[in-house]
Amino acid sequence: MTKYMTKESLFEIQSIANPVLAPNEQEAVFIRTHINEKENNYNAHLFHIDLESGEITQWTYGNERVSSPQWSTDGKQVAFLVKRNEKQQLYILNRRGGEAQEITTLPNGVNSFLWSPCGEKVWITSTVKKGLDITKEEEKEDTKFPKAYVVDKMKYKADSVGLLKQDRYSQIAAVDLATKEVNTFTVGNYSHSLQGISHDGKTLVIGVNREENTDNVFRTPLYLVDVDTKEETVLIEEDGYFGGVEFSFDDRYIAFGGSDNTFRNATHGHVYIYDTETKTTQKLTEMLDLPVGDYGVADIQQGVSAPSVMWTENNDLYFQVSTQGDIRLYYATLEGALYPASPENEHVYGYAIFKNGNRALLTVSNGTFPGELFDFDITTGERKQLTTFNEKFLNETTLSEPEAISYTSNDGLTVHGWIMKPAQYTEGEKYPLIVEVHGGPHTLYANTFFHEMQLLAAKGYGVLYVNPRGSHGYSQEFVDGVRGNYGDGDYEDIMAGVDYALENYSWIDESRLGITGGSYGGFMTNWVVGHTNRFKAAVTQRSISNWISFYGVSDIGYYFSEWQMLADMNDVEKLWHHSPLKYAANVETPLLILHSERDFRCPIEQAEQLYITLKSMGKEVGFVRFPECDHNLSRTGIPNLRLERLEQITGWFEKYL
């Protein structure tokens, strides 16, 4: 019997991600994540696949989340991270089976790890309190006599973390697998990250910033460190974000991903190559006016972690590129040849490359396909589906097929997006249309599966979602086009999309338009209802309403405002001009405000200001607060509250549309 998408479909859809190829290239592991309805949480388990026979075996079970699987160099073991007691620790499984062995029992657990190629030790990072050894337990805080939190820096809190412990640092250590002895490798009151290791095991790449105060420092230098002598060589130390280091098979070249600070956080990601012989670095993708990496937004894939770049044995490279609404696998040579290696109209959200470069394992999604694991022949384009975890759901559920559109905005800019008909569409009927606006703003809607969009279509709405200026995946000029001018060209792009839809799709009822979005999409929803009365209902989520207060209350406010608005507290006129709160008196659209109470990115006071202001003016407004949740409620939030959020959205539109 055919059914339509419901909010409870979240419990049926499974996320297949993070394929890791074994050294023998005859087998692989991957992670399957699903929502555990009974426990109201997420379970992520390790699976093994024999690539020749196609046989799939589940390797871990229970109410837990496994992450970061890595094969040992000899292919006999797989290490992974999982929280089985209080802290996340390192475990190792023998590929022939048996119980996973707990390798670490560190008081603060393990944050990340890398196998040493010798197979006898594993490099790890763990959080350490100032003055303590990595293996020493901290004194338990007395909850009866809580301590005050003294703030002396501007970077003192973070979304999904809370207040930062100022005297804690991430240190690198080596764990001897035979004895389980932990030997600290780094020292000093600075946080260190593990970025990569050479195939001969002699060189680590670490990230560390040794500035005393990093409030206005936006770089983490990468260093090559000799494992024996600890001698450091700078790999890169410019402003921006760099990481995901991979050594070529011959250890001559080091590839890494990153973006400099030219356009602040709107700068395109690129692939960089360091030659250890000539000691020179080149930006391999300089001629590509697209961002390297996966900037797609969706709500199904869980715990996705794809490599920044992967080498072949011939010193060619593969990496992801966000382009025109796709996330594609790209191929490059050191000489500068560069072209897409996977098809259009899909989202490659995970990959593993065979050494010869002719074959890959891919996890792939599209607008009507949540994602599975595929074996992909890069030379012929043929692919074989290896997993069918979502087959039952797909066979039973009627979905709406997103149709790609492009149109011209008011100033001649071409904007790309999608429109979905209601899932039970009947020719000749009229239907309401809901406009969705993504966050970021430097992300993109993509050719990927979106439960929320399908749910709205199942409820009888058309759905329009577009990539206005500020979105990734087009050009550097396009993604930079919103900075300093939120609510201008981006607003025009969205409204031009509405006009395009009304002109070209006669099934849309112009008198029943709705709009919703989160984060930047929440800002834009607030802005829209303050600047037009065309929408009959709106739902704003985790939004910004007041740039002046956002500057001081957001975990990133003091620099994000300067980067994005090109204004700080010395120019409150500009901050206020771009604040939706300024235009509250104009709002005539019934507005529902949804916000998480632990959102430190766009703190809940942004919602509180907007709600009280609109309510005091006698406007039609609702406000729903979600306890225990942060900025990522819609994607990774507590499952029952994700359902409540969807119910609130659909209920509001049902009431007013």
Catalytic residues: 519, 631
Torsion of CA 253, 258, 260, 262, to 10 degrees: 130
Which two three-digit tokens encode residue 63?
């109410």
Enumerate long-range contacts of 450-453, CB under 8 Å, 24 or more apart: 450/298, 450/299, 450/300, 450/367, 451/5, 451/9, 451/10, 451/13, 451/299, 451/300, 452/299, 452/634, 452/646, 452/649, 453/400, 453/402, 453/420
d(CA 581, CA 106): 48
Which amino acid, residue 542?
Answer: R
Cα 638 to its chain centre, rounded Å, is 17
Residue (of 252, 258, 374, 353) closest to 311 by Cα position: 353
Query: CA separation (Å) from 255 to 205, 244, 249, 304, 362?
Result: 11, 8, 11, 21, 21
E strand map for 51-134: 56-58, 66-71, 77-83, 88-94, 101-102, 112-115, 121-129
d(CA 294, CA 290): 11
Task: State the alpha helices, DSSP H only, in 566-638.
Answer: 572-577, 605-616, 633-636
Buried b (16+ CB within 10 A) or exposed e, 417-426: bbbbbbbeee
For the chain, the residue count is 657
The residue written with tokens 């509180």 in the block is 608
Residue (of 494, 534, 499) closest to 514 by Cα position: 534
**Rg of the chain over all Cα atoms, to the nearest angstrom:** 25
d(CA 431, CA 422): 8
d(CA 321, CA 329): 6
Residues 601, 604, 608, 611: is their CA dihedral positive or negative? positive
d(CA 112, CA 102): 15
Coil, strand or helix: which one is 476?
helix
Q: DSSP for 402-450?
A: PEEEEEE-TTS-EEEEEEE--TT--TT--EEEEEEE-SSSS-B--SS--
Query: CA separation (Å) from 11 to 14, 82, 117, 640, 642?
Result: 8, 22, 39, 10, 11
Q: What are phi and psi of 307, to 5 degrees?
A: -60, 150
Q: DSSP for 210-253?
A: --S--TT-----EEEEETTT--EEEEE-SSEEEEEEEE-TTSSE
DSSP for residue 345: S
Which two three-digit tokens encode residue 629?
């949740």
Buried b (16+ CB within 10 A) or exposed e, 20-29: bbbeeeebbb
d(CA 320, CA 342): 10
Element (DSSP H or E) covering residue 529: helix 520-529
